[in-house]
Structure 1
Amino acid sequence: MEGKNVTLMVEFILLGFSDLPNLQGFLFGAFLIIYLSILLANGLIFIITKTEASLQTPMYYFLGNFSFLEICYALVTIPRMLTDLWTHNGNISLWACATQLCLFLILGVTECFLLAVMAYDRYVAICKPLYYFLIMKHHVCVRLVIGSWILGIPAVIGLTYQIFSMPFCDSTKLNHVFCNVYPVLQVACGDTSMNELSVYAHVGLFGMILFILILNSYIRIITTIMKLPSATGRSKAFSTCSSHLIVVSLFFVTAIMTHLQTKASHSATIERVLSLLYTTMTPLVNPIIYSLRNKDVIVALRKLLPS
């Protein structure tokens, strides 16, 4: 800490896309279109899963909640990005930065849990079809969703407090488009190894373990599908879980690659690209993946939208 000025209360500066001054207008327009598309696409999925009688099943109940989660993801990150691009001012207070990071991490943990719950739902549907509606009763589904939203909150609040209780140096420029773990650790003074260890622990607990559970569900699903005597039956079974498997791959690959870095090996450019992938592109393509590969969703959308 020698030779560095330390402050207890700071205002961070999100550099965002300041390295691309000639593209600010284009980026604003592009992210505005993406933002509105995320709200529209996921909003439509959420509405039809709540109103369409044919979609009142556990699978679509989870899909509706997942779409709502994607809307929340967009609300936490993109409006701030649009504001910074429009005003060319990336100043953000410590409390605002901490709040954004905390909400962002809570949503990330919730997504991990929801994806695991959706994988379990597909496992029961394919591997134990006769017991599906007995196991996946509505009150069970509600509890699984509520648990997905709240289980990670205490740990995330603790991690956020640990990160923002550190002293920060005079260089408070965050080379990112929103407040994320490693850009904040980059401007912290002193030894941050314990904070990095906490991040690894949280990624391991909420990321890797849940990913292994999802993987285990799909191993059992694929094993069961391969035993089906009919090729048509195998194709239908694969189609019911292929969309979810694509979404799982998109989310976990980018999220784990982003957070399994050290302060020393951290690459701001790589993290910025990966973060944008799972905070903007993933919420954008998820409803497309689910609707294009699901006839029930397509039929429900045609009923809702004017022809």
Structure 2
Amino acid sequence: MKALTGLLLLVFGHGVSSVLHSLQYFYTASSGLSTFPEFVAVGMVDGVQFEYYDSNIPRTVFKQDWMEKVTREDPDYLVRTTERFRVAQQSSKANFGIAKERFNQTRGIHVYQEMFGCEWDDEDDTTGGYEQHGYDGEDFISLDLKTLTWVAPVLQAVPTKQRWDQDRTDVQKKKNYYTKECVDWLKKYLAYGKSTLLRTERPRVSLLQRSPSSPVVCHATGFFPDRVVMFWTRDGQELHEQVDPGEVLPNHDGTFQVSVDLDLTAVPQEDWGKYECVVQLKGIEDISTRLDPALIRTNWDSDKRQKPVGSDTSSQNA
């Protein structure tokens, strides 16, 4: 599943204008885990979980209040979704058994995963889709929607590729699902949950430093959606060196956080004013925070804060 990393997160160029929305499903079948269900299904819209199913329940559980609107307009939704997950459970169990046999495994802890979904750009109306299967954390087989063929990165998946490639009816059904049906449902979910999914929450930005020799961290938290751009500039020009960007992480309240480090080892204090941390989020003006010792929250005494890295010969160097 390594190839999927980064696929579901849109990286905007500076000057954010459009948003790439996504509908994703994650199926996980496992063996050897006594405290974990044998099968779990999770549905997510724009990174927000909205429904859940597992083999211990087994029924669809809504994770968002706005999903009640779906059942009011579509009373059979829960029955259809639960049945779809039950079919997926049987299919995953069969694929799981085939993978274990191909890898000549009978005991131990093993996991079979399926991840699929679609994306929609709300500005240019372009769409995309994917389906990937993995076994024990490694890619097993995936669908190439451009060629409508299956890709087998390991020898054990080649028989599966050959069999699935021959089923042209199923491949065409998948193409229709990922390019139309999935996108239609994505737009429906966004409409039902617009007060939650389409909201914008302004980030709170702080400058942090663990010690005088540590990088200065620009930390943004409490923002929504998660598609944010964050970078350091010097004299208004974006820095590509001296910086270490982090990944966007979820907060417990449904918002997100991210940080980007700035290494000031070779920067004298008199140049600090030339540096700014910039945060961009669609729907709000850019947030710029100038690198100022007085604004940095630290873990050491306030008098030491006035002697940051590179300020004089007594300062520590990273």
Q: For this structure pair, what is the TM-score category when the shorter chain's length is used for normalisation? A: under 0.3
Q: TM-score, normalised by structure 1?
A: 0.26
Specify which structure has the higher proportion of helix: 1
Q: Which has the higher contact order (CA 8 A, sep 6+)?
A: 1
| Between structures 1 and 2, the one with greater strand share | 2
Query: Larger C-alpha radius of gyration, 1 or 2?
Result: 2
